[in-house]
Amino acid sequence: MLKDKKHIILTSALLGTCGGVVFSLISFILNFFSWIFPILGIVIGEFVFLYFFVQRFFYKKGTSSVLEIINVETCERTTLKVFENTIIESPNWRKDENAILYNSNGFIFSYNIDNDTVEKIDIGDLKDCNNDHVLSPDGTGFAISCNKYKVLGSQIYTLKFGSSESKLITPKSPSYLHGWSPDGNTLVYCAKRNGQFDIYAKNINGTDEIQLTSSKGHNDGCEYSPDGKHIWFNSARDGLMQIYRMDCDGKNVRRITDSKERNSWFAHVSPKGDKIVYLAFNSKDIEPEEHLPDKNIQIRLMNYDGSNDRVIAEFYGGQGSFNTNSWSPDGKYIACVRYEPPKKYS
């Protein structure tokens, strides 16, 4: 009986000691965090302040866009205009005047090369225009892809210069415009239908869209040749993104590029139909289906049959640099956009 009492007393003492230790430990932890949290708060606050101080006083606000033209024979590059802290995309060289159409912040603008001025183009109630826009063959109007109704995705509209009235061409979405037939009757575009991106064509007078590709892999960047016989496009059907050509009805598909090191996008046919320029990413930088901004890219030139494929420019760009046709009307130059990320102030 005495042993049982001693055992109980000893157990109680141990429990009391352990309880005291636990209580002391909890008190220590609470006291520790009661003074460490304010210190952490100060440190974090100072770090945040320092970060924004450096961004404000040592770096420019954002990415700048440089509108350039490239002489395709000499590879000479000329800067037309620098757009500080502004993203512009997808230049189209106008036929009705010496000016370049482009998109920025969801709107369409025209840069006049002769007098170095920018004009905002009236697009009525359309908004959220993206970098998929082309000029009409006669130069009197243009077609654009925009997300007027955000829940629907990108749709394609046609407009005339000097008028805010637009015509919806593709009720189905998403649809991304890339080409206009030389006869002015048909638009060709990339569209996602049933989970797959393929090439479609549609008469601007409202007939049903016609599916031109059906192979697995992303199909994009479609554009008519000046004689209306072919449609050029890019596809990842064989692995890497490559440049292809097909008849306007989708038949007789032929692969033009066969690089093992590049993902090739956006083939643009010269006005005479003898040259092709396209954009190339290093295959290690992106997946075949991607065409991302902020990458080191090449602008390449080749003959219509794919021969004499060569680099004519390299710079920092990608998405937006020249998604749609940007040849000058005389076929001597192409327009493109390179980008300059935020830099330290000098």
Same domain? 124 vs 218: yes
**pLDDT bracket for residue 115 (50, 70, 90):** very high
- Mapped onto helix, strand or coil, the DSSP state of residue 5 is helix
The predicted structure's pLDDT at residue 111: 98
| 151/126: higher pLDDT | 126
The predicted structure's pLDDT at residue 85: 95
Which of 11, 32, 58 represents a domain boundary (last residue)? Answer: 58
The average pLDDT across 119-142 equals: 96
**pLDDT bracket for residue 30 (50, 70, 90):** low
Cα separation values, 293 from 88, 225, 280, 314, Å: 12, 27, 12, 14
The average pLDDT across 280-289 equals: 96
Residue 346 located in a structural domain? no
Same domain? 177 vs 260: yes
**pLDDT bracket for residue 151 (50, 70, 90):** low
Give the least confident one: 104-118, 144-158, 225-239.
144-158
Helix or strand (DSSP H, E) at 30 = helix 2-58
| 226/9: higher pLDDT | 226
User: Is residue 51 over pLDDT 70?
Assistant: no
Same domain? 37 vs 170: no
As a whole number of angstroms, the distance between CA 278 and CA 291 comes to: 13
Same domain? 116 vs 22: no
The total of structural domains in the chain comes to 2
The predicted structure's pLDDT at residue 55: 40
CA 169 to chain centre: 23
| Two structure tokens written together for 212 | 């031109």
Same domain? 251 vs 152: yes
Q: What integer best gives the mean pLDDT of the chain?
A: 87
- Which residues, in sequence order, are CB contacts of 211 under 8 Å at separation 6+? 193, 198, 199, 200, 250
Say if CB 153 and CB 132 are below 8 A apart.
Answer: no
Closest by CA position to 98, among listed 139, 142, 50: 139
Block residue for tokens 């209580």:
23
- Which residues, in sequence order, are CB contacts of 320 under 8 Å at separation 6+? 87, 88, 89, 90, 131, 293, 337, 339
Residue 309 located in a structural domain? yes
Same domain? 54 vs 68: no
Range of the domain at 133: 64-340
Residue 257 located in a structural domain? yes
Q: Going by DSSP bridges, is the β-strand pair 77-83/186-193 parallel, antiparallel, or unpaired?
A: unpaired
